[in-house]
Amino acid sequence: MYISRIEKSTERWDELINYSKNCSWIVGKHLASLMEKNAFTEWESVFAAVLEDKIVGFCTFMKTDYYPENRYSPWISSIFVDEAYRGCRISEKMIKTVIAYAKEQGFSKVYIPSDIIGLYEKYGFEIIDKLQNYSGDIDNIFAKEI
C-alpha cells in the first residue's frame, strides 16, 4: 500500500475522480467536482491511498475548508477510507504523507476538521477550537505542530 499525491497530469487523476464520485461519503462528490474543475492552486493537493493497484481512500491538503470563518490553514481534510479497508491505519498513512508534503512546502502546523473524537489524537493532534460549518454543524478543529 502506498499514498500518492495525485495531479491532473498523473494517470490516477480520472480514476480518483470516479472513485470519489462513487464513494459512500457525500464529500466524495464535492472532491470530484473540485478535481473536474482543477480547483487546486499553488501547493493545494489531493492524495490517494492505493492498495493492490486500486484506490481505497483519499484526502486533501487545502488553504480553506468548509467554514464561513476560515481562521486556520492549511487543512488536511476530506479524509476518507473505503469501509472494507478501515482499521488498517490507512488514514494515519495518508496524514503522515500529507504532513511530510506540508513540511516540504514550509508549513510548521496543520489542521484537521472533524466531528470524530479519539482518532486524530492518536496521531498527535489536539483539539484547539470548534467551528460551525456551512451546514450549521459544529466540528472540532484539531492542530499539530510539524
pLDDT in tens, 128-141: 999 999 999 999 99
111 forms bridges with which residues in the sheet? 75, 143
Find the CATH number of the domain harbouring 11.
3.40.630.30
Tell me the mean pLDDT in the region 60-75.
93
pLDDT in tens, 11-30: 999 999 999 999 999 999 99
- pTM, rounded to two decimals: 0.95
Residue 10 grid cell: 498523473
How many structural domains is the chain composed of? 1
* Residue 70 reports pLDDT greater than 90: no
DSSP 102: H
Which domain covers residue 48, as residue numbers?
2-145
* Residue 69 reports pLDDT greater than 90: no
CB atoms within 10 A of CB 8: 10
